[in-house]
Structure 1
């Protein structure tokens, strides 16, 4: 019986360890799959960098930013490589438009989105020109979160 207990205990330990490894793997895959199409915000970009690790070991993205990440998730390829350019009506453009509408609703919304974009930008690498051009590709005439600065104080957004 003690042999069986050890065996089942070992199996349970292995099962827990395998499950933990699986969860970690899925979580890592999700992090790499979530793009931030923050064509609305200032995101620091290394000059000339077009590729590289999307998420590096930096501060965690706050849970309050999930909507921002979800809204703009479809623009990852464009923001990191510059291709393919988003088209009006695409998931990317729809996400950017929704984020823009939310930002338009109030100063508090703009500041929250700005803060989330800054937090997310610390974990992602974007090509600078993609952030500036995304509204044009998506035919969105205005954007209410700044894109042309390398550092933004979200508390000063009006």
Structure 2
């Protein structure tokens, strides 16, 4: 795995992991790499300093050095906003899992009470909902699957 700092045509900078340098190039050529902030697919590698980890543990970090950031900690205001949006949706909506399409359709048709829901839908199910005028939107993050 390799981590690149990338930037889009709008000068947004973000990090992303790739299986290899070749994998990055293939995904970029297929326009499958997009800006994590604005969605622009004109993405290039940004200048970055190599990260060389010292041979000592993090508890031995010298004074004045910045501690390493945990991978799960949001690094930018955009990542912080996405994390807050995810917390809000998970707190204030019902998770319906793979029943999302049928639940959304039932609410739209009036055969189920309206409420805030989220879950998963196959691409063809989502397309059919949109074509039928059911108000749905993809979430800009991976949802935490809940089990009963």
Asked whether the two chains share a fold, i.e. TM above 0.5, the reply is: no
Per the normalisation by structure 2, the TM-score is 0.26
Per the normalisation by structure 1, the TM-score is 0.25
The answer to which structure, 1 or 2, has the higher relative contact order (CA under 8 A, 6+ apart) is 1
Higher helix share: 1
Higher strand share: 2
